[in-house]
Structure 1
């Protein structure tokens, strides 16, 4: 009986093991409390970030709305150019057929007049669209050019463009004004200048969009950068208006 009782006694080694396990369990509980506290902090931080994101989402949507509209307008312009190209080919074919008929000398005067009138009507419409293509690249909403055009007119002698674009404007300014009465080579030269200047206004529009997307810029600095860009845009636009596409 004594042997059985002695076997059931808590020996010093068992007691040490129990104490060690108790300490380990206490450490685990302490570590768990720290983890729970950190988890609570992270959850609160996530909630704050989510609230900020929801609060700023309308602002972001508002900023991208004009960009989406411009993208849609760009797609429309591409379709218009394709339509113009198709129409131009049809007109070329009509002119070619008319020239062939004139060369055979068997077409009636009434037929020639009818087809000539048709060509004149379509050429007039084509000419109108043609002039729109060589206008400055559209400004992003809500910017307008009116007041800056007045500034450009009043400050014609000021040079605010880089040398390359300033020289393009000067060359266009020195060209004859009446586009329709020019030789084909002269028209080609003017069209090449207009294309380059339109590309310049497109680059300025991209610059303005980039400025608008930089939310970290000070409002006064933002306003100053946009104002300078619009002045350069107005100077180029004023030069492009120097050419008259109409009779």
Structure 2
């Protein structure tokens, strides 16, 4: 792969890897047993995507477990803590809509990621549907579930602008991607009786920050947990 394609594979691979780990943290803690299974399956889908993407760049294990925090190129959105279940669902809604639209564009082209995208977009369609169904159920549910969803929508809104910053090696129409993302997310939130958050979707200081290796405080703690076993037993096989 070209150097620019490597940069894109690393960014997309890190998105999938980090969100997979976050969703995996719900194992045994989801509100219902069925949701334990659903979130685990989404996490495994994302982990599979991460393995393919990172293997295009180098050794997937070394890239996942031996890089320092500043070397990761994932979006800040995916590294945000799970919070309550509403927070997790809104994070998944924002990201899965973006990922489905992105992979749809890549699959329609003839670039280096077309084959991967064509396979992954089918998985991501389920991820988006799952997030939408829960958004509708909680947003238009009880007063408490509605309030929690609204708080989550607002809290994560400032991280969404970074998704549409240019990524070296990705040949996509970012303007069209952003417009369709806004349209889709607005429609879902409206159906769920939720208000689309106001205010900027990215602070001037944070534009493209995750893609540049600048991460939020919770990411360091998550990374230490994710990498602990591999770093504690270097070279071990199981």
The bucket for the TM-score relative to the shorter chain is: under 0.3
Greater radius of gyration (CA): 1
TM-score computed with the length of structure 1 as normaliser: 0.24
